[in-house]
Amino acid sequence: MQTLADKAVLITGGAQGIGKGLARACLREGARVVITNLDTEVAARTVAELSELGEIRAVRCDATDRSAVDALLDGIWAREGALDLAFGNAGAGAMCPVLEMPLEDVHAQFSLNVDACLHLAQSLVPRWTAEQHPGHIMFTGSENSLVLPAGNADLAMGVYGATKHALLILTEWMRYELRGTPVTVSMLLPGPVLTERLAATFQTLTENPDDPALRAVFTREAEQTLRERFITPDQCAEIALEGLRKGLFFIPTQAYIKEDVDARYREVSDAFRALGLA
């Protein structure tokens, strides 16, 4: 997809963070954008801010509700016409050790980070294939889709990492199942992105460096690592669209991620050799 001019684009979770960056980038390329968000006031502010760049509207949609996703796409087809590009971006993470997280919270994270993407794909792909309409879905994964980030290990995001690992393998299977169709998929794999929420958190740390509640989550070492690795939502979006134009499946956003991937690869390779399998 070399140009987004006059393309219809959907971005779930598009009112803040990476989603907002994607909306801004798509509008600048001439796309017609629909964003979803559960908080209608936040969504309205984003639409007001970005509307000077082009055609954008917001729809309240719970991405974990299949019937709501079906209704969302029905509305887009009726108003904007067939979608050309969708970003399955709605998601969230919670910081809690794996052995301490209540199972209902585990299920909630999987519902938002995995089930919501499946709802989108299962509702959207048949529409495209029925019409033989070329379409693309980019899912927002994470560096956690690939590996436990060495510098972030103290952030207790193992369940979040599990959801993003799951999303990656599901998308790899989707890529295989979609061969021979006009539909393609890809994975955005960002490291830390300075979203509005994280920016506020780090501003608080700057103003109150000894805040005990925040320090229980963000050690000084973790804070420093994140500050060195952060990119902005707009930078993340620029890389996402570059990856889209280049037809990439894996779209990492920060160079250091390769070091963690290489470290995992070396350990796995060493295990094969130790067992006489290589």
CA distance 162 to 269: 22
**Dihedrals φ, ψ of 251, to 5°?**
-125, 85
Task: Give the pLDDT score at 269.
Answer: 98
Task: Give the pLDDT score at 210.
Answer: 83
pLDDT mean values, one per 10 residues, the chain (278 residues): 91 97 98 97 97 98 97 97 97 91 97 97 98 98 95 87 98 98 98 89 82 78 85 97 98 97 97 97
Task: Give the pLDDT score at 102.
Answer: 97
- Choices 3.40.50.720, 3.30.70.20, 2.40.30.10, 3.40.50.10490: CATH for 8-193+232-273: 3.40.50.720
Q: Give the burial class of 129: count Cβ atoms within 10 A of its Cβ; 0-12 exposed, 13-18 middle, 19 or more buried.
A: middle
Domain boundaries, the chain: 8-193+232-273, 194-230
Residues 154 and 219: beta-carbon distance below 8 Å: yes
**How confident is the model over 116-134, as pLDDT tens digits?**
999 999 999 999 999 999 9
**How confident is the model over 148-167, as pLDDT tens digits?**
998 788 888 999 999 999 99
Task: Give the pLDDT score at 226.
Answer: 84
Task: Give the pLDDT score at 203.
Answer: 84
Residues 18 and 89: beta-carbon distance below 8 Å: yes
What are the start-end ranges of the H helices in 193-256? Answer: 196-207, 212-215, 220-229, 233-245
